[in-house]
């Protein structure tokens, strides 16, 4: 009961507080939420967000000045948000059916409006300035229902749609293998074969990111970053964990793409971080609206990573 009351209080606090982004000064050394979703389904539980609650998450983020940023853009330090807005990254693990489902109606395929992709697309039609961005970490060789969204006849169509619409596909191993348990050959095969399956449907697509099953690193992190197995060569620019809180700015010395933390998108954790940034607005990444500039508080200049690309100019405030 105490835990339930605490969660309810945190959520109420997060939702009731006014949107602050428009009044916050730019701070491009602030932290960024990378949200981690799993099932979009019923009932609401530890690894499941209901369609209604997922939709509410999007509404809450939008109202509070958050805008979607692609994970690859985060890695590249390409922040194109309007001034005063805060980036948020959406990730979906395990390619469960509720994330992306087709329905057949009168002989025509339609995206299920209660699936994750359906909700995102609907929200974008209403709020086009929210942005279209999310990364789907798929399991091409998993048992049902997690094998590429559990509609075998449409798996190619789905991956092609995601890429065409500007979403990203990430590697999550072939069948959610605990990489800490295996020797090098098996680790490399799990990663390379997953990429082979993805490229079977989208041949020119290179997954740039790997989400660790169970959050477990292999004995040597280099095995997960790049290599070759069974004739396939892979190269990852980032590895995502399953927890750890908000991520450092990509312009910060603390930014480590090999150990990118995420926030599990459950009621308690999301409410906590929304409230945290309300209480500590100086910790929140706020865009200056200029992709060619990095605006930072003068007292934080030493936190900038070096070197930054020459195309970026630094502005102190």
Provide the token pair at 137. 């970490």
Q: Which two tokens stand for residue 139?
A: 């399991």
**What pLDDT is stored for residue 23 in this prediction?**
83
pLDDT digits (tens, 9 = 90+) for 244-299: 999 999 999 999 999 999 999 999 999 999 999 999 999 999 999 999 999 999 99
Q: How many CA atoms lie within 13 A of 304 on its CB side?
A: 22
Give, in order, the Cα–Cα distances in Å from 226 to each of 24, 106, 118, 210, 255.
40, 46, 34, 11, 20
CA distance 62 to 90: 13
Q: What angle do CA 162, 138, 52 make, to 5 degrees?
A: 70
Name the DSSP letter for residue 57.
H
Using DSSP's 3-state secondary structure scheme, residue 75 falls into helix
Q: What does the pLDDT read at residue 230?
A: 85
Q: How many domains does the chain have?
A: 1
User: In which domain, by residue range, is 130 found?
Assistant: 2-316
Q: How many CA atoms lie within 13 A of 132 on its CB side?
A: 19
Q: What is the pLDDT of residue 22?
A: 58
3-state secondary structure of 239: strand
Q: What is the pLDDT of residue 4?
A: 46
Neighbour count for residue 230 (Cβ, 10 Å): 10
Look at residue 1 in the predicted model and tell me its pLDDT.
Answer: 46
Q: What is the model's pLDDT at position 3? A: 46
Rg (CA), the chain: 20
Q: What's 284's domain CATH number?
A: 3.20.20.370
Report the SS3 class of residue 272: helix
pLDDT (0 to 100) of residue 14: 45
In which residue ranges of the chain is pLDDT below 50?
1-19
For the entire predicted model, the pTM comes to 0.94
d(CA 272, CA 291): 29
């Amino acid at each position: 009961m105490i835990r339930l009351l605490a969660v309810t209080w945190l959520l109420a606090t997060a939702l009731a507080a006014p949107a602050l982004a428009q009044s916050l000064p730019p701070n491009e050394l602030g932290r960024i939420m990378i949200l981690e979703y799993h099932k979009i389904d019923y009932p609401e539980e530890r690894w499941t967000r209901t369609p209604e609650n997922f939709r509410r998450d999007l509404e809450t983020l939008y109202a509070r000045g958050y805008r979607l940023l692609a994970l690859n853009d985060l890695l590249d330090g390409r922040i194109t948000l309007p001034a005063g807005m805060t980036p948020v990254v959406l990730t979906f693990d395990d390619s469960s059916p509720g994330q992306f489902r087709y329905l057949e109606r009168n002989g025509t395929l339609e995206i299920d409006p209660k699936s994750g992709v359906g909700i995102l697309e609907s929200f974008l039609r209403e709020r086009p300035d929210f942005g279209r961005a999310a990364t789907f970490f798929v399991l091409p060789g998993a048992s049902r229902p997690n094998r590429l969204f559990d509609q075998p006849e449409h798996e190619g169509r789905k991956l092609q749609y995601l890429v065409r619409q500007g979403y990203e596909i990430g590697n999550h191993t072939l069948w959610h293998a605990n990489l800490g348990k295996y020797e090098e050959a098996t680790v490399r095969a799990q990663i390379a074969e997953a990429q082979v399956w993805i490229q079977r449907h989208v041949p020119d697509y290179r997954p740039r990111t790997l989400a660790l099953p169970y959050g477990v690193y292999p004995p040597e992190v280099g095995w997960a970053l790049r290599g070759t197995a069974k004739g396939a060569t892979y190269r990852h620019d980032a590895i995502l964990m399953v927890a750890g809180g908000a991520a450092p700015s990509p312009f910060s010395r603390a930014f480590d793409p090999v150990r990118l933390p995420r926030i599990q998108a459950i009621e308690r954790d999301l409410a906590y971080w929304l409230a945290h940034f309300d209480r500590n607005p100086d910790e929140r990444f706020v865009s200056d609206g200029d992709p060619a500039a990095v605006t930072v508080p003068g007292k934080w200049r030493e936190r900038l990573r070096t070197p930054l690309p020459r195309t970026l100019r630094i502005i102190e405030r």
